[in-house]
Amino acid sequence: MKKLITAGVIVFALLLSLAASAVTASDVPAVSETPVDAEEAAVPVVYTDLSEDWYKSAAEKYGFPEVFADGTEFHPDRPITRVEFVRMLCRALDITVNYFAPTDISEYYTDMTNGDIGAREIYDMVTAGIIDRNLEGEFEPAEPLTREEMIHYIMNALNYATDGKCPVLLIMPAPFADDASIDEAYRGDVTNAVILKLIQGRENNMLYPKDSTTRAEAVVVAERLIELVKRLVPEVEVTASAKVNNGTLEMSLVIENNGDDTVTIDHSYGKYYDFNVLDSSGEVLYTWVSDKVFITVMTSYEIKPGEKAEFTEVLGSEIFEPIKDKAAFVTAYIAGFSEDFEIDRNGYVTPIF
């Protein structure tokens, strides 16, 4: 989940212009609803006022005490301020930005200084494209966050966390009874959030888009967002690719660690991977390992969070030429085992381009 962003003063303006797109997540009912399966609480504080099940686990995970705690109370019905929401969401997404030069929040919001609570998180969230820069130059950090703007930020966050690859079904959900009061700029976000089951509105099929978002609603939506991202972006993603280049076949296997923990892959001998070239019916035309010899010793390697391992082999023209007219697919294999993720023993198939 963790993303590390590196940004410089020169490229920051470009990031702002590219980050104007949004797609995803949002809200929760003010009545009752059971949140998705709870994980072990990430917040080392026991709130004494979490009386309703529909927000309890979310408040325990994302009701960060440095943002919300008032002694031991969370105040779930209290409107969440704009800066509280940004700080909470920034921590939930574990966003880290490294800048090449000092930043100054007043360049973007005239009502804030670098010493203000949340200034760094707001700057980072603008860099990530999750928070839009206010064209009037003010962020109004202490003001309550409206429900429709919360939906917009959550949708931007989903777009960010999934690199813009979140699928949205081309269906139109039933409109809310107060659909007409939704700002046109947020209408698409609301539609997608409903489709993705990130919001359901309040009672009587009402969204109340101009109302303040409560703290309980905010943390439940954050929980839904994180759970959706986990489903859409596997912690360990394995991909294969194959392309013809000047009469040769370039084959690649990439193992990318999107999680927060180091991944270890063990091997019973020196073979780390393999490639098969197949025809359109699935018959094997060539196996890369068939003419290789490997040492018989236990080996392993680690992939740290945010890093990837890439293995590439090239079939020269002398090997590829006799089979190129039939070659249609390549299957890549991880020749090892891991306790950190499930390796597909059937391999990872890609068409040849």
**pLDDT tens, position by position, 121-165:** 999 999 999 998 865 789 999 999 999 999 999 999 999 998 887
With a cut of 80, say whether residue 207 has pLDDT above it. Answer: yes
With a cut of 90, say whether residue 105 has pLDDT above it. Answer: yes
Is 96 in the same domain as 192? yes
d(CA 152, CA 7): 24
Instruction: Report which of 256, 262, 259 is spatially closest to residue 237, judged by C-alpha positions.
Output: 256
Average pLDDT, the chain: 86
How many other CB atoms are there within 10 angstroms of residue 173's CB atom?
13
What residue numbers bound the domain in which 276 lies? 236-351
296 vs 241, residue with greater confidence: 241
Nearest-5° Cα angle at 344, 340 to 349:
135
The answer to whether the CB of 246 falls within 8 A of the CB of 304 is no
Average pLDDT of span 320-341: 95
Average pLDDT of span 258-268: 90
Is 115 in the same domain as 152? yes
234 vs 131, residue with greater confidence: 131
CA distances from 165 to 168, 233, 317 (A): 9, 9, 36
The answer to whether the CB of 301 falls within 8 A of the CB of 338 is no
What proportion of the chain, given as a percentage, has pLDDT over 70?
87
Instruction: Report which of 64, 24, 19, 81 is spatially closest to residue 224, judged by C-alpha positions.
Output: 24
The answer to whether the CB of 257 falls within 8 A of the CB of 338 is no
Question: Phi and psi (nearest 5°) for 258?
Answer: -95, 0
Work out the burial of residue 212: count CB atoms within 10 Å of its CB; fewer than 13 is exposed, 13-18 middle, 19 or more buried: middle
Q: Which amino acid is at 57?
A: S
* CATH number of the domain that residue 279 is part of: 2.60.40.2360
Is 118 in the same domain as 131? yes
344 vs 39, residue with greater confidence: 344
Return the pLDDT at 27.
36
d(CA 146, CA 218): 11
With a cut of 50, say whether residue 206 has pLDDT above it. Answer: yes
Is 145 in the same domain as 210? yes
With a cut of 80, say whether residue 308 has pLDDT above it. Answer: yes
Is 163 in the same domain as 241? no
What letter would DSSP give residue 214? B
* Percent of residues in the chain assigned helix, strand, coil, to nearest 5: 30, 20, 45
Return the pLDDT at 251.
98
With a cut of 90, say whether residue 332 has pLDDT above it. Answer: yes
Last residue of a domain, one of 232, 261, 279: 232
Return the pLDDT at 167.
75
Instruction: Report which of 95, 41, 49, 91 is spatially closest to residue 66, judged by C-alpha positions.
Output: 91
Confidence label for 2 from pLDDT (cuts 50, 70 and 90): low
d(CA 340, CA 40): 19
Give me the residues paired with residue 240 across strands: 253
Return the pLDDT at 235.
86
With a cut of 50, say whether residue 257 has pLDDT above it. Answer: yes
CA distances from 14 to 25, 54, 119, 124, 127 (A): 25, 40, 21, 14, 10
20-61: per-residue pLDDT in tens? 333 333 333 332 223 333 344 344 568 999 999 999 999 999
Last residue of a domain, one of 172, 199, 232: 232
Last residue of a domain, one of 190, 211, 232: 232
Return the pLDDT at 16.
32
Is 52 in the same domain as 156? yes
E strand or H helix that includes residue 127: helix 119-127
Work out the burial of residue 131: count CB atoms within 10 Å of its CB; fewer than 13 is exposed, 13-18 middle, 19 or more buried: buried
What proportion of the chain, given as a percentage, has pLDDT over 90?
70
Is 227 in the same domain as 195? yes
Structure-derived torsion over alpha carbons of residues 337, 342, 343, 348, reported in degrees to the nearest 10: -170
Return the pLDDT at 135.
59
Is 197 in the same domain as 318? no
Is 188 in the same domain as 266? no
Three-class SS state of 246: coil
Split into its structural domains, the chain has a count of 2
Is 51 in the same domain as 128? yes
With a cut of 60, say whether residue 74 has pLDDT above it. Answer: yes
d(CA 148, CA 196): 16
Is 214 in the same domain as 279? no
d(CA 183, CA 180): 8
Cα radius of gyration rounded to whole Å, the chain: 24
Three-class SS state of 187: helix
Is 158 in the same domain as 249? no
Instruction: Report which of 271, 258, 279, 268 is spatially closest to residue 333, judged by C-alpha positions.
Output: 271
Q: Which amino acid is at 50?
A: L
Identify which of 72-81, 129-138, 288-297 has the greatest average pLDDT: 72-81
